[in-house]
Amino acid sequence: MTSQATRNISEVEELFDYMVPNANSTPVVVKGAGAEVWDADGNRFLDLEAGPGVVSVGHCHPRIVEAIKTQAEQLLQSPGRFHSPLTLKLARRIAALLQDRLKRVFFANSGAEANDGAIKISLKHAMATGKRGFGIFTLEHSFHGRLSLALSLTGMAARKKGFGPYASFPGVVHLSAPYCYRCPLGLEPSSCGTRCATEIEEAMKTKVPGEAAIMIAEPILGVGGIIVPPADYWPKVQAILRRHNIILIHDEVFTGFGRTGKMFGHQHWDVQPDVVTFAKAIGGGIPLGGFIATDKLASTFEDGDHFTTFGANNQVGIAAGHAVLDVIADENLPKRAETIGNLLMEGFRKAMTRFDFIGDVRGLGLMIGVELVEDRASRKPATALAKRIQAEMRDRGVIIGLTGNYGCVLRITPPLVMTEAQAEEVLALFTDICAKLAR
């Protein structure tokens, strides 16, 4: 007799034929609450991906659900080019989180679209202020989305495989990432002088077509492997960019809205980007993104220069955004991310003292990477081992992602509402699996 589980999987496999090929797999998730989800057979999983990074306030938070329901009964989509008080107020709230230094918001549908718009407004500003050349700096190991321009900015070749010139926007120059565990310059962190930051000025002489106009980068590189730069990296980069009148865009699509222990990732360092892009967490599960720029830079856009059908007009998403900010503030989720993140980091580092295949543990808040290696001397990526640990954890009720150019970094980015007990559960299971594989 066919079991219900087999029937569920069989049905999904049949329906899969109607989708463009993708990497989705079982379990068949049908329900979520907080940091937990359930599959079609009632099995419960702890979710360490969160969307990835989308449901920072938790799956189906009651206040988000209520805001969506209430707005859906009033207005789903604002008609065309008309003001929405709900949208204007959300823009003001986001600006307040950045002390109104960044003030002008454009709402979009996703992180890729937000990054595209941020580059567009920055290029127009560069032209208006007399730049002769439009070089765009970005980082190796970076990820900025899957649209044509976003793929060009992304520093991960595997994401571009087979797409030819679709991912070759002119003027994009990739710089060395501050990946201290695998320093691209072959230096040791104790004596490198943050060489990857000062590399910018050399690249201006040798790699940029004309003048450099923009640098876009994630404060912490997410999909590239949870790469946390050394403390002096961003201050050095900002000083160089200001010296040469280069616009700094910080892609906070993953790091924004409390994930790293602060409202925005760049706030861990003494830096002031000219533009910040956002998405994922702000919608609480509803598609919403955008960018926020200085008043001076934003004034470059004229009426009709940029538009999107949804974004600011998507009133359900905008209502969800208000509710997300309420929950983040009322439940002090950045502080919770810091507390639970420190607990997890301590646990993973304790496991690192026992198991030689754990090469590095790094992160801020609830944005953590555990890099697995064949051995610590060679630091050879242990891609197969990472996949096995991922599968073992899934089979035992924990969903965890793999990331990085080498596919050997376990990515821990759960909802920020994760409890201490849930974190301890994750650590106990991870340690048990590692002990089993180390035998």
Domains and their CATH numbers in the chain? 4-57+332-438 (3.90.1150.10), 65-330 (3.40.640.10)
Return the number of other C-beta atoms located less than 10 Å from residue 251's C-beta.
34
Percent of the chain as helix, strand, coil, to the nearest 5: 40, 20, 40
Write the CB contacts of 310 (distance below 8 Å, at least 6 apart in sequence).
77, 109, 287, 317
Backbone angles phi, psi at 141, to 5 degrees: 75, 5
Return the number of other C-beta atoms located less than 10 Å from residue 3's C-beta.
9
- Strand locations in 317-416, DSSP E? 358-364, 367-372, 398-399, 401-403, 409-412
- The strand order across the sheet containing 367-372 reads 358-364, 367-372, 409-412, 401-403
Per-residue pLDDT tens, the chain, 439 aa: give them.
345 455 566 777 777 778 888 777 778 899 999 999 999 889 999 999 999 999 999 999 999 999 999 999 999 999 978 889 999 999 999 999 999 999 999 999 999 999 999 999 999 999 999 998 899 999 999 999 999 999 999 999 999 999 999 999 999 999 999 999 999 999 988 789 899 999 999 999 999 988 999 999 999 999 999 999 999 999 999 999 999 999 999 999 999 999 999 999 999 998 999 999 999 999 999 999 999 999 999 999 999 999 999 999 999 999 999 999 999 999 999 999 999 999 999 999 999 999 999 999 999 999 999 999 999 999 999 999 999 999 999 999 999 999 999 999 999 999 999 999 999 999 999 999 999 999 7
Which two structure tokens, joined as six digits, stand for 178? 């501050």
Helix (H) / strand (E) containing 173: strand 172-175
| Neighbouring C-alpha atoms within 13 Å toward the C-beta of 178 | 27
Comparing CA positions, the residue from 279, 287, 285, 212 lying closest to residue 251 is 279
User: What's the confidence (pLDDT) of residue 6?
Assistant: 53
User: What's the confidence (pLDDT) of residue 8?
Assistant: 60
Distance CA 283, CA 260 (A): 18
User: What's the confidence (pLDDT) of residue 7?
Assistant: 57
